[in-house]
Amino acid sequence: MITITRRAALSGAALLAACARRNEAPAIEAVLRARWDRPDAPLEAGPIVIEADLAIADWTQGSIGGRALLQKRDGVWSVSLCAGDELRTAAGLQRAGISRPIAAALAFKLNQAERRTTPQRLSMMSRFDAAAAMGSMLAD
């Protein structure tokens, strides 16, 4: 009985954590829109994946796209880096200064989430072939 209760408690905690992360996605999208959305070129964001206080948000705008790496500090999300496919891999995320376990988790989550993304949109995000630092450097 204790095992069942402990397992149920752990499942409940995981569910609450997943709900909290989903609730963060609108805040992340709002940060991206506030910075880059324009009437003549609306920004489309998503999927957005979150691990700890880091997130990756796919985005497209007109005929271009990319991925944004965001960090949450003092309860506020901000963009640290914009890149293309470099942010799809654990190795690329580690080169951006993210620890191995968090980089692996983010890369896995992004891979899963991007399975629902159209090939055309993935191609647009892959064309962002540079890495542009946008804010303070990452520290995790």
Quick check: helix, strand or coil at residue 51? strand
Handedness of CA 125, 128, 133, 135 (dihedral sign): negative
Place of tokens 């209760």: 5
pLDDT at position 131: 75
pTM given for the model: 0.81
- Give the CA distances from residue 95 to residues 2, 29, 44, 100, in Å, rounded to whole numbers and listed in that order: 43, 24, 26, 10
- pLDDT tens, residue order, the chain (140 aa): 454 555 554 444 444 444 445 589 999 999 999 999 999 999 999 999 999 999 999 999 999 999 999 999 999 999 999 999 999 999 999 999 999 999 999 999 999 999 999 999 999 999 988 777 766 555 54
Residue 102: how many other CB atoms lie within 10 Å: 18
Handedness of CA 113, 22, 132, 44 (dihedral sign): positive
| Residues 45, 82 contacting (CB under 8 angstroms) | no
CA nearest neighbour of 56 among 28, 34, 35:
28
Q: What is the C-alpha separation between 36 and 125, in angstroms, rounded?
A: 15
pLDDT at position 129: 80
Q: Label residues 69-79 b or e (16+ Cβ within 10 Å = b).
A: bbbbeeeebbb
